Structure 1
């Protein structure tokens, strides 16, 4: 079973959200439809801009924790390196 560590944003250089899940399609749908109250709903965070896949949930969780400890500039640089136009990767995940 794959596990995913991902970064969402409200817009380019906007508020970031880092998460981990075993069902990326379901989780993104929850964020995009704002069905669950919380941080992403409050700040309109819906755009998937970065994702990594793991076979081991422990590695995915460790990476999430690492990202959360990084300075914001490092996170922005990671996104810029992999997705310089800050495209919403939602369609690539669901195709």
Structure 2
């Protein structure tokens, strides 16, 4: 089943962050986890799924992704701390 969502992957706790959207979070998280996603996330080793939000529509997910990306690093860190204070790799909860 497809479920639009916004996700954040990190290189380590308080490390480099990447925010993206997908309609298949388990698949996309696997791709990041295994280093299969080319570009920014691969270059900086963003493999740890530290946060995600499910949305009703892809439009809602895109809107939220833009909002998160436009925010400061401090706001992104606060969001992660709110969703996942221990910075656990949430990928393990998806499989």
1-structure distance, mates of 2:36, 2:49: 17
Report the counterpart of residue 82 of structure 2 in structure 1.
81
Report the counterpart of residue 33 of structure 1 in structure 2.
34
Report the counterpart of residue 90 of structure 1 in structure 2.
91
Question: What is the alpha-carbon root mean square deviation over aligned residues?
Answer: 1.0
Aligned length: 94
Stretches (4+) displaced over 3 A: none
Structure 2 SS opposite 1:58: helix
Task: Report the Cα offset of residue 37 of structure 1.
Answer: 2.2
Runs of 5+ unmatched residues, structure 2? none
TM-score (norm 2): 0.93
Task: Report the Cα offset of residue 91 of structure 1.
Answer: 1.2
Map residues 51-90 of structure 1 onto 2, 5 A cutoff.
Answer: 51-90=52-91
1-structure distance, mates of 2:78, 2:48: 17
Runs of 5+ unmatched residues, structure 1? none
Instruction: Spell out, residue by residue over 1:22-81, the C-alpha distance to the aligned partner (whole angstroms, 9 max, x if none).
Output: 011111111111223211111111001110001211000000000000000011011111
